Amino acid sequence: MAVSPDPSSPDPASLRDELSALAIEELDAACALSWVEMKRITPWGDTFEGFAPSGRQVEIERRYLWAHDPAGGILIEIEVRDPAAREGAEARAVLCAPL
């Protein structure tokens, strides 16, 4: 017996695209802090619940870590997860100290 995909379930590729876009949006917001503000809170991270543009509930994790290369830089990592779909996406940036 052939099984047809459930038409009400989201396409996995579009789900990943949405999570990736949300991770990049959150990374942009995380990088908007001034260097002084970032330096004050590093190392730090938190996880919170939010909503994807489609309305699905997601978990968003934001981490500020000291980077090893370049020395004194700050690594910002964002992870967006949809626990129900067991899908996720990550975005990251390394910022150097201003001269």
Domain boundaries, the chain: 34-95
Which among 2, 3, 7, 11 is positioned nearest to 85, based on CA atoms? 11
What is the pLDDT, as a whole number, of residue 8? 54
Stretches in the chain below the pLDDT threshold 50: 1-7
DSSP sequence for 1-20? ---PPPTTSPPHHHHHHHHH
- The tokens of 2 are what? 């052939």
